[in-house]
């Protein structure tokens, strides 16, 4: 148990939907995150995948304590994250950092790179004495593969990939134990994506970081992750090691997602069966009864509408899957 750095139990985040001008009436809730549980082990990367609007980013915000959770628990090194206040919360901020999705808006355009990366030291002055900060910022720039002489430049003078490196340097400044990566590469060119991901991989080895790596691209997640959680409409539908998810998926949603990953080998192209999902993701305000995926699932039966499948290991698989009819199906050729 002790090597679990973060444990999340039944985490929910509902956003109220309000109508009315003066007297607002709550007419419903967007169930952005609805009962998510997982653990993150020390030094491991947990990939979180799912299509847009399934609650991945909300999960990141709640984990960062940028948004209060509606219910559920989360512990960091055994201590309740959501109960922390004052000095303890400041310490938590040092231990968990975030890399945001869009490198074009995540850096203040009116601050120099030196000021951006140095800001963590100003907020947490106990980390670095005043005189050594400049040197530390230069070191950080060096670590993420940027020229330390770029200290006095502004974000607009950099490319997307370089900006994301600056964002990573800022997240690294306080020597965190966990970095939440909220789609850190989805705004970048494919060629730059690989660079940034390799950098993240190298940093993990160097500093012993744990990552919660959020993405909507399965191949990106596979490259870095030790374990993968697949999310659909605010719930984890399947969770397992990288191999279990990619080689032996048992949830129909995972299978559909995997069947859509482009095949790099032209010889094999077209030989694979692509599962096409019909329709859109249902509204998270009013999710379907029972299994949330049933409206788009080709296996759906009456049982799926009545009973919500639990995320447990079933006979057909070797890892937890939230499907009544979980079965293996070879997807990747």
Partner 1 sequence: MTDPSTAASGSSVEADQFVTGAENAKPTTTKPRSLASDAWRDLRRRPLFIVSAALILLVLLMAAFPFLFTQADPNYAELSRSRGTPSAQAWFGYDNQGYDIYARTIYGARASIIVGLVATALTVLIGGTLGLLAGYYGGWLDGLMSRIADIFFGLPFVLGAIVILSSFGSTGTTSQTQILFLVILSISLLSWPTAMRIMRSAAITARQQDYVKAARALGASGPRIILRHMLPNAVAPVLVYATIALGAFIGAEATLSFLGLGLRAPVVSWGVMIADSRDIIRVAPHTLLFPAAFLTATVLAFVMLGDAVREALDPKMR
Of 151 and 332, nearer to partner 1 (C-beta) is 151
> Strand runs (DSSP E) across 89-129, as ranges?
96-99
- How far apart are alpha carbons 280 and 159 in whole angstroms? 34
Closest distance to partner 1 from the beta carbon of 250 (Å) = 35
Name the one residue in this structure whose structure tokens are 């940093």.
203
* Contacts of range 186-190, beta carbons closer than 8 Å, 24 or more positions apart: 186/101, 186/215, 186/216, 186/217, 186/220, 187/101, 187/102, 187/103, 187/104, 187/160, 188/103, 188/160, 188/161, 188/164, 189/160, 189/161
- Binding residues for partner 1, rule: CB under 8 A, are 64, 66, 89-90, 93-94, 97-98, 100-102, 105-112, 114-115, 119-120, 123-124, 134, 146-147, 149, 151-154, 156-162, 167, 170, 174
- How far apart are alpha carbons 325 and 154 in whole angstroms? 54
Sign of the torsion angle spanned by Cα atoms 152, 156, 162, 167: positive
Burial 266-280 (b: 16+ CB within 10 A, else e): eeeeeeeeebebeee
- How far apart are alpha carbons 319 and 191 in whole angstroms? 33
Of 152 and 219, nearer to partner 1 (C-beta) is 152
Q: Coil, strand or helix: which one is 196?
A: helix
Of 216 and 299, nearer to partner 1 (C-beta) is 216
Of 214 and 277, nearer to partner 1 (C-beta) is 214
User: Would you say 292 and 36 are in contact if contact means Cβ atoms under 8 Å apart?
Assistant: no
Closest distance to partner 1 from the beta carbon of 76 (Å) = 14
Q: Coil, strand or helix: which one is 147?
A: coil
Of 174 and 326, nearer to partner 1 (C-beta) is 174
Of 100 and 218, nearer to partner 1 (C-beta) is 100
> Residue 55 corresponds to which tokens in the numbers above?
């609650």
3-state SS of the chain: helix, strand, coil percent to 5?
35, 25, 40
Residue 203 half-sphere exposure toward CB, CA atoms < 13 A: 27
- What's the burial of 180, exposed, middle or buried (CB within 10 Å: 0-12/13-18/19+)? buried
Of 108 and 289, nearer to partner 1 (C-beta) is 108
Q: How many CB atoms lie within 10 A of CB 1?
A: 6
Of 197 and 331, nearer to partner 1 (C-beta) is 197
Of 166 and 297, nearer to partner 1 (C-beta) is 166
């Amino acid at each position: 148990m002790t090597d679990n750095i973060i444990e999340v139990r039944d985490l929910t985040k509902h956003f109220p939907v309000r109508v009315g001008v003066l007297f607002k009436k709550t007419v419903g809730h967007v169930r952005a995150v609805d009962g998510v549980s997982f653990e993150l082990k020390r030094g491991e990367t947990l990939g979180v995948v799912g299509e847009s609007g399934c609650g991945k980013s909300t999960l990141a915000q709640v984990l960062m304590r940028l948004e209060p959770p509606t219910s559920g628990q989360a512990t960091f090194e055994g201590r309740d994250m959501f109960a922390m206040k004052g000095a303890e919360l400041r310490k938590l901020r040092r231990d968990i950092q975030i890399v945001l999705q869009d490198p074009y808006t995540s850096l203040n355009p009116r601050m120099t790179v030196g000021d951006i990366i140095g800001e963590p030291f100003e907020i947490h002055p106990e980390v670095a004495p005043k005189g050594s900060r400049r040197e530390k910022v230069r070191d950080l720039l060096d670590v993420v593969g940027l020229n330390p002489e770029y200290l006095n430049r502004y974000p607009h003078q950099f490319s997307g990939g370089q900006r994301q490196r600056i964002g990573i340097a800022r997240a690294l400044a306080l020597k965190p134990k966990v970095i939440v990566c909220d789609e850190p590469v989805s705004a970048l060119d494919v060629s730059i994506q690989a660079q940034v991901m390799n950098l993240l991989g190298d940093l993990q080895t160097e500093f012993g970081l744990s990552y919660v790596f959020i993405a909507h691209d399965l191949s990106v997640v596979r490259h870095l992750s030790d374990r993968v959680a697949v999310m659909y409409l605010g719930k984890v539908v399947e969770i397992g090691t990288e191999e279990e998810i990619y080689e032996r998926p048992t949830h129909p949603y995972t299978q559909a997602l995997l069947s859509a990953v482009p095949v790099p080998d032209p010889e094999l192209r077209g030989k694979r069966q692509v599962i096409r999902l019909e329709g859109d993701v249902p509204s998270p305000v009013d999710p379907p009864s029972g299994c949330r995926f049933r409206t788009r699932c080709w296996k759906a039966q009456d049982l799926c509408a009545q009973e919500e499948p639990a995320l447990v290991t079933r006979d057909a698989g070797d890892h937890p899957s939230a499907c009544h009819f979980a079965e293996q199906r070879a997807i990747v050729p």
